[in-house]
């Protein structure tokens, strides 16, 4: 994984300007390894979802299939779209992000789920924060591509930082910390690949660390002063407590993590077999098709099945990094690496939280977790990467 991160951080296009003259690759020359890993990951996810949703009436496998169907169509359409035409639309992407992320607050269409205002109902229920991931990637790429691979001016850095912070601020009004963290990771990778001065980046990280520490210290005082939650919600505090002490209240706040570990451990080397995940089928494992779907996979297919999943992820990421390395312009490179960075963060956070190595945040597992919006967005990201491959003219 460290070697993979080094490859990503070293990615730089030979020509930082947007190519104006190019000949797109013919579709018969689509990237076969990339398509292969895309298909096997989606297939693996459907197999796991078929089992995870079978015993839970709150989830529909047919809805997941619908997400795949719509996603495939969008993948083809975005692949055919020349990504160069999307460059230079910073203001447009910023407006789209704000509209998407604030739409759940509109009376009549906003839907509250699990205490969060993150969904809208427009005939079908959608999560705008998921679709905004696509426009956040495009926003980050269009902002950073303007600097031609070198950003050493502090004022310009602060300007770029403020623009990239807008989606995070908007999504935190819902509030949705998990999605907000994904936006921050996308922005971080864009700043790195876009050539921002390392001193500026390190300084920004330092400021964020200080802010987080201040929130943790001030929150109890504010709660006592105002008599209700001000900064952190009760469930967020309990998740931090369980992360710091996994044995804390295993029948209450720590129940989810305890059951997740039992599911993973009971799978052993080869697993219990397809449709034999007793932790989820008997209702012990909460949110099995979504947040804790990795536990279902590990219980049914064991350690070997989990390694196979990681191998598929590594294959897709390596293929994507190769697309970025072959890109002839900075805009395309940033798009691809932002998507790769997003996937890496989601994979590490989701698997890490099921093992107790990361705090529980509700971040889904790419291509595996339940959710038609989530699946469609991942296909759109794949389409952006494939568009860079087809239209980069190299």
Residue (of 223, 224, 252) closest to 239 by Cα position: 252
What DSSP letter does each residue of 201-260 carry, written as one string? HHHHHHHHHHHHHHHHHHHHHHHHHHSS-SSS-HHHHHHHHHHH-TTTTTTTTTHHHHHH
Residue (of 229, 242, 239) closest to 363 by Cα position: 239
394 residues of the chain, pLDDT tens digit each:
555 555 554 555 444 444 444 455 545 457 899 999 999 999 999 999 999 998 888 888 999 999 999 999 999 999 999 999 998 888 899 999 999 999 998 888 888 876 678 888 888 888 899 999 999 999 999 999 999 889 999 999 999 999 999 999 999 988 888 899 999 999 999 999 999 999 999 999 999 999 988 988 887 777 777 766 667 777 777 778 777 777 776 777 788 888 899 999 988 999 899 988 888 888 788 888 898 999 999 999 999 999 999 999 999 999 999 999 988 899 999 999 999 999 999 999 999 999 888 888 889 999 999 999 999 999 999 999 999 999 886 5
d(C-alpha 173, C-alpha 7), whole Å? 36
d(C-alpha 52, C-alpha 296), whole Å? 7
What's the pLDDT score for residue 36? 96
Residue (of 381, 373, 368) closest to 83 by Cα position: 381
What DSSP letter does each residue of 267-290 carry, written as one string? TTTT-S-TT--HHHHTT-STTTTT
What's the pLDDT score for residue 58? 82
Beta carbons of 368 and 183 less than 8 angstroms apart: no
Residue (of 208, 232, 212) closest to 222 by Cα position: 232
Beta carbons of 38 and 323 less than 8 angstroms apart: no
Domain spans of the chain? 2-12+31-391
| Sheet strands side by side (includes 110-113) | 110-113, 116-121, 125-126
């Amino acid at each position: 994984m460290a070697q993979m991160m080094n490859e990503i951080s070293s990615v730089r296009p030979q020509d930082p300007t947007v190519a104006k003259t190019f000949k797109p690759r013919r579709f018969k020359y689509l990237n076969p390894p990339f398509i292969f890993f895309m298909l096997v990951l989606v297939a693996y996810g459907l197999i796991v979802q078929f089992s995870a949703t079978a015993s839970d009436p709150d989830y529909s496998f047919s809805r997941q299939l619908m997400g795949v169907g719509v996603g495939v169509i969008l993948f083809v359409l975005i692949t055919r779209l020349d990504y160069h035409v999307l460059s230079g639309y910073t203001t447009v992407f910023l407006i789209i992000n704000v509209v998407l992320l604030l739409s759940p607050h509109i009376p009549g269409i906003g839907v509250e789920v699990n205490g969060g205002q993150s969904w809208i109902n427009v005939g079908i229920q959608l999560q705008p924060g998921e679709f905004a991931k696509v426009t956040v990637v495009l926003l980050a790429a269009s902002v950073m591509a303007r600097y031609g691979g070198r950003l050493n001016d502090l004022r310009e850095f602060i300007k770029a930082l403020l623009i990239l912070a807008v989606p995070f601020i908007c999504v935190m009004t819902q509030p949705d910390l998990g999605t907000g963290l994904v936006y921050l990771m996308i922005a971080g990778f864009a700043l790195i690949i876009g050539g921002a001065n390392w001193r500026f980046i390190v300084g920004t990280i330092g400021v964020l660390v200080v802010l987080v520490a201040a929130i943790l210290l001030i929150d109890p005082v504010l709660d006592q002063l105002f008599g209700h939650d001000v900064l952190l919600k009760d469930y967020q505090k309990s998740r931090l407590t369980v992360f710091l002490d996994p044995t804390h209240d295993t029948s209450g706040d720590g129940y989810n993590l305890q059951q997740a570990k039992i599911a993973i451990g009971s799978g052993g080397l080869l697993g219990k077999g397809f449709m034999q995940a007793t932790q989820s089928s008997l209702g012990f494992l909460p949110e099995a098709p979504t947040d804790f779907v990795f536990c279902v996979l590990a219980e049914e297919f064991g350690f070997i099945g989990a390694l196979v999943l990681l191998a598929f992820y590594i294959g897709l990421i390596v293929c994507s990094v190769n697309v970025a390395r072959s890109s002839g312009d900075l805009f395309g490179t940033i798009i691809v690496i932002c998507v790769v960075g997003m996937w890496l963060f989601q994979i590490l956070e989701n698997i890490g939280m099921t093992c107790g190595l990361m705090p529980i945040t509700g971040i889904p597992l790419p291509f595996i977790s339940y959710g038609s919006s989530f699946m469609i967005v991942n296909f759109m990201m794949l389409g952006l990467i494939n568009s860079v491959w087809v239209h980069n003219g190299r």
